[in-house]
Chains A and B, each alone.
Chain A
Amino acid sequence: GEDVEQSLFLSVREGDSSVINCTYTDSSSTYLYWYKQEPGAGLQLLTYIFSNMDMKQDQRLTVLLNKKDKHLSLRIADTQTGDSAIYFCAENPSYQKVTFGTGTKLQVIP
């Protein structure tokens, strides 16, 4: 099946780093994504990584991709209260669609 798995919940203190993990299933996925959902809103693309890359950094965000283990992670440095949201990992097993994970709710404690 096309299950993208994430833990449901993560709690961190403000200023610490957050690491959200994801396991995907389809090794042919060309792109892997992280989306952010704030309360009462739809999902917004946070970042994405092409499958031939191991790492992508964008300001406070670092994405790591381990294709051998089909593992994707998102690290948020210096986590702020505004980072509190649900984070979805996603893969594109075909050009037709994107498969989303269950989402990880990040709680940032002041």
Chain B
Amino acid sequence: DADVTQTPRNRITKTGKRIMLECSQTKGHDRMYWYRQDPGLGLRLIYYSFDVKDINKGEISDGYSVSRQAQAKFSLSLESAIPNQTALYFCATSDSTGRNIQYFGAGTRLSVL
């Protein structure tokens, strides 16, 4: 089983709908992250959390919200999806050592029509 699991793997939704992307991890890491990947733009950080009571905005948090339900679970919500949120979304974890190595899930491909 994967250490970082994202569900769903693919999702098609319509403009204005609320959707939730889920992430769970078995690595025992405190830190969790949500990124989006767009061609030519690389990965951009949406939100990150260093423990259950810690939530921080990344560089592109507008239009998104997150919930850290437990150490192992971190979900990303789009309250009212819009077409320019069509992208590949990744969840990642890291431990608290100085190296900050990130471990990624397989991604969720989201299309907003």
Query: Which residues of A pack against B, CB within 8 Å?
Result: 4, 8, 30-31, 33, 35, 40-45, 48, 88, 92, 95-103
Q: How far is the CB of A37 from chain B (nearest CB, A)?
A: 8
13 contacts between A and B (CB under 8 A): A4-B42, A40-B106, A41-B106, A42-B92, A42-B106, A44-B104, A45-B103, A95-B100, A98-B100, A99-B45, A100-B35, A102-B40, A103-B42
What residues of B have a CB within 8 angstroms of the CB of A42 in the complex?
Answer: 4, 90, 92, 104-107
Pairwise interchain contact B100-A41, C-beta atoms closer than 8 A: no
Minimum CB distance partner of B107 in chain A: A42
B74 at the interface (CB under 8 A from A): no
Pairwise interchain contact B101-A48, C-beta atoms closer than 8 A: yes
Count residues on chain B whose CB falls below 8 Å from chain A CBs: 25
What residues of B have a CB within 8 angstroms of the CB of A40 in the complex?
Answer: 106
Q: How far is the CB of A71 from chain B (nearest CB, A)?
A: 18
B20 at the interface (CB under 8 A from A): no
Minimum CB distance partner of B91 in chain A: A42
Kindly list the 9 A-B residue pairs having the minimum CB-CB distance in the complex, ordered from nearest.
A42-B104, A102-B42, A100-B43, A43-B104, A92-B100, A100-B42, A42-B106, A103-B42, A42-B105
- Give bound CA distance, A8 to B40, whole Å: 7
Pairwise interchain contact A88-B4, C-beta atoms closer than 8 A: no
Q: How far is the CB of B48 from chain A (nearest CB, A)?
A: 6
Minimum CB distance partner of B9 in chain A: A40
**Interface-central residue, B4, B102, B104, by most chain A CB under 10 Å:** B102
Q: How far is the CB of A7 from chain B (nearest CB, A)?
A: 11
Q: How far is the CB of A23 from chain B (nearest CB, A)?
A: 13
Minimum CB distance partner of A102 in chain B: B42
Minimum CB distance partner of B50 in chain A: A96
B63 at the interface (CB under 8 A from A): no
- Binary flags per residue of B78-113, CB closer than 8 Å to A gives 1, else 0: 000000000000101010001111111111000000
Pairwise interchain contact B43-A88, C-beta atoms closer than 8 A: yes
- Give bound CA distance, A43 to B41, whole Å: 15
Contacts A40-B106, A102-B40 given; indicate if A97 touches B48 (C-beta within 8 A): yes
